[in-house]
């Protein structure tokens, strides 16, 4: 079967750095997405990785290792508004999106 | 202008009723989706549709049916509503390419409560 694993919940302090991990086992791989979802709102796109390495976009970076079936989302200089769920999604060999259950990130002052 | 809009935002109804949720996108995308997000916040794909193909998640009961009058609209019809249908339903769209589905743009969600 296809599987995406993420921690259920993480807590971090305002101003700090946090890394949210995602491991996947899918039938093929055609890219990996990270989305952010604030409570009561729709998911919004954060990043897309299809090649190994680090993609940086402001305070957010996303890393991919296809050989390890592993990605992480790195959030720097955490702000209270970063409190949200972070969803990892993998595009499989049939170009279908397989979603993780999401990681709820709690930011404390 | 809202890129992906869905109505209604809230829907409260009785078991056994039939209801519809409408979705429209003005992004010119060729693929639209319906997702169900339950209380555990897990996003479950129900349907994906472009002008060539309807892909149905086989776990979705046949009480649920998508209707697409044109490529900018994908409505969701639900017959004989059950308590377990209570969830937030998200419509989304994307532009499919040879690299796959592309970035998804989501509507605001429709919170369905079945009493």
B5 class by beta-carbon count within 10 Å (0-12 exposed, 13-18 middle, 19+ buried): middle
DSSP at B108: -
> What percent of chain B has pLDDT above 90?
74
Q: Which letter, b or e, does each residue of A43-61 get, where b requires 16 or more Cβ atoms within 10 Å of its Cβ?
A: beebbbbeeeeeeeeeebb
- Three-state SS annotation for B20-79: EEEEEECCCCCEEEEEEECCCCCEEEEEEEECCCEEECCCCCCCEEEECCCCCECEEEEC
Q: Do B103 and A33 touch (CB under 8 A)?
A: yes
Q: Dump pLDDT digits (tens) for B66-86.
A: 998 888 999 999 999 999 999
CA A50 to chain B, closest CA, distance in angstroms equals 9
Q: Do A102 and B107 touch (CB under 8 A)?
A: no
pLDDT class of B1 with cuts at 50, 70, 90: low
CB of A84 less than 8 A from some CB of B:
no
Contacts of A101 in chain B (CB under 8 A): 40-42
Q: Do B100 and A31 touch (CB under 8 A)?
A: yes
Contacts of B70 (CB under 8 A, 6+ apart): none
pLDDT value for B52: 67
Q: Dump pLDDT digits (tens) for A43-89.
A: 999 999 999 999 999 999 999 999 999 999 999 999 999 999 999 99
H or E, element range at A108: strand A103-108
Q: Do B43 and A43 touch (CB under 8 A)?
A: yes
Structure-model confidence comparison of residues B99 and B89, the more confident one: B89
Q: Do B109 and A42 touch (CB under 8 A)?
A: yes
Q: Dump pLDDT digits (tens) for B20-73.
A: 999 999 999 999 999 999 887 789 999 999 876 888 787 899 999 999 888 899
Give residue ranges of B with CB < 8 Å to any A CB. Answer: 40-45, 48, 55, 90, 96, 99-101, 103-109
Strand partners, A53: A64
Helix (H, G, I), strand (E, B) or coil at A6: coil
Contacts of B98 in chain A (CB under 8 A): none
Token pair belonging to A30: 């055609």
Contacts of A30 (CB under 8 A, 6+ apart): A50, A91, A92, A93, A95, B99, B100
pLDDT value for B56: 76
pLDDT value for B53: 80
Choosing among B106, B110, B111, which should be mutated to test the A contact, i.e. which has the most A CBs within 10 A? B106
Closest CA to A92 of A20, A5, A4: A4
pLDDT value for A98: 92
CA B94 to chain A, closest CA, distance in angstroms equals 11
Structure-model confidence comparison of residues A1 and B81, the more confident one: B81
Q: Do A101 and B100 touch (CB under 8 A)?
A: no
């Amino acid at each position: 079967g296809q599987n995406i694993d993420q921690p259920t919940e993480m807590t971090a302090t305002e101003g700090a750095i946090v890394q949210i991990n995602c491991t996947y086992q899918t039938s093929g791989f055609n890219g990996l997405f990270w989305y952010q979802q604030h409570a009561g709102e729709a998911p919004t796109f954060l990043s897309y990785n299809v090649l190994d390495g680090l993609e940086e976009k402001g305070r957010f970076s996303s890393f991919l290792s296809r050989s390890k079936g592993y990605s992480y989302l790195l959030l720097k200089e955490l702000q209270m508004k970063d409190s949200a769920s972070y969803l990892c999604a993998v595009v499989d060999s049939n170009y279908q999106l397989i979603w993780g259950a999401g990681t709820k990130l709690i930011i404390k002052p | 202008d809202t890129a992906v809009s869905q109505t209604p935002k809230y829907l409260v109804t009785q078991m056994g009723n039939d209801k519809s949720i409408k979705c429209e996108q003005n992004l010119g995308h060729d693929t639209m989706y319906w997702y169900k997000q339950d209380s555990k916040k897990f996003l479950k794909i129900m349907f994906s549709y472009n002008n060539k193909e309807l892909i149905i998640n086989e776990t979705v009961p046949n009480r649920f049916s998508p209707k697409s009058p044109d490529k900018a609209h994908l409505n969701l019809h639900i017959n004989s509503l059950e308590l377990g249908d209570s969830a937030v339903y998200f419509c989304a769209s994307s532009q499919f390419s040879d690299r796959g589905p592309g970035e998804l743009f989501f509507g605001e969600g429709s919170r369905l409560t079945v009493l």
